[in-house]
Amino acid sequence: MQATARTDFQHLPRVLQVEDEDSWFGITDPKIRRRLQNRLNQRERRSYLRSQGSSPPISSSKQLGPGAESANHIDRILRILDAIHILGPAAINAAAALKQLESAIVFGARCNAWSPAADLRLGVTRLNVLRALHTNLEVLGYRPSDIEDDAQSTFTVERPSRHPDRDIIEAKLPSALRPTVIQRTIPHHPWLDLIPFPCMRDTLILAQDFIDDGQLCQDMSGRGSPVVQKSNRDAGIGETGILVWKDPWDPSGWEVTQVFIQRWGWTLRNCPELLRSTNAWRRYRGERPLFTVSENDMESVHARILEIGAGTGGATDPVLEGIGTPFSSYTYTDVSVGFLEKASRLFKEYSNKMIYQVLDI
């Protein structure tokens, strides 16, 4: 973690200490999670009462106004969130940092350190998506420190890189995190496995050679976004990433922001669950929906796919099986007319969408 982030941590108020046995990470059973949260709440309440009974009064001449103290506190938290790494060797202390930040935010809200309707929301939204990705990482059996830049998804059939001490039983995974055919077939970085929307994962894997996945990860978490002006916080301005309000493996708890849609809207094609959940959370807050979602949206994707040098279709078959029918056209190319004829017979069920072209090279 950067030096500035360490300094910011030192200026946070004393917060609830979260023990290892109280960690939520990797736990999907709601009863266990509620029991852990109740334990944390009771410990936090006792800690707060002790501090109230032993803390000396603060001189009014040196005490900042609630608005200034609130702004300083939330800005400090946002800077720490920008500096946290949840993947790679630098992620060794990510879990502890996330738990401390969570405690700081909850403690501040319950002690009226800032306005839950304004300042609190900014810290919570950015923390939640980082915690969600970190939690799904552990639910899938990954260790954060193992996720190097050249790491390989354990789901990829062709080049498995399963860690020897990990045995993922896919049938027990949350349904939204179970691997698709494309995840099993096409090599990709493990971080794409963390998104609880199969169609979005597939879209990103198919386009991975043409996108900056580092920028995508930053845009999802809102990392690097400028700190919001205090006067704009009540309006919710500044939310730039993805928001997570429920268990991170539950698609109904995810929400996309307008800024993310402007940059990465094409990744949401064929993801009506994410569109619906976004609208639902916005309505809950009294905000207007962002999308018009119909029952036919599963078939409304207009993606056009081009495969160069496709051969007889051995590699194309699992791709089409994973995508299904929601695409506009699939242009299949090869130098051999014979290969194209074999492919046309193999993919007869997609005949109304397949375009076969001979490469003239």
Domains of the chain: 3-53+65-148+187-297 (no CATH), 302-358 (3.40.50.150)
pLDDT of residue 328: 62
Task: Decide: helix, strand or coil at residue 354.
Answer: strand
pLDDT of residue 292: 77
pLDDT of residue 194: 93
pLDDT of residue 185: 86
Q: In Å, what is the CA distance from 320 to each residue of 56, 278, 332, 343?
A: 68, 28, 12, 12
Residues in the chain: 361
Report the number of secondary-structure helices (H) and strands (E) in the chain. Answer: 12, 5
**DSSP state, 123?**
H
Of 69, 55, 62, 54, which Cα lies nearest the Cα of 11?
Answer: 69
Question: What are the tokens at 271?
Answer: 């993801």
The tens-digit pLDDT sequence of the chain (361 residues) is 444 444 443 444 444 344 444 444 445 566 665 666 566 556 655 654 555 454 444 333 344 444 445 555 555 555 555 555 555 544 555 555 556 656 555 555 555 554 444 455 555 667 778 788 888 988 888 876 667 778 888 888 544 455 544 445 677 889 899 998 888 888 999 989 999 999 999 999 999 988 888 888 878 877 655 444 333 333 344 466 898 888 899 999 999 988 888 889 889 888 888 999 999 999 998 988 888 766 555 444 455 677 777 777 777 777 666 655 556 677 878 878 888 888 888 887 777 677 888 877 6
Phi and psi torsions of 185, nearest 5°: -100, -40
CB 347 within 8 A of CB 316: yes
pLDDT of residue 76: 59
C-alpha span between 137 and 111 (Å, rounded): 32
pLDDT of residue 57: 41
Burial class for 201, CB neighbours closer than 10 Å (0-12, 13-18, 19+): buried
C-alpha span between 34 and 261 (Å, rounded): 33
Give the bridge partners for 307, in sequence order: 332
C-alpha span between 25 and 207 (Å, rounded): 30
C-alpha span between 233 and 303 (Å, rounded): 37
C-alpha span between 219 and 222 (Å, rounded): 5
pLDDT of residue 55: 41
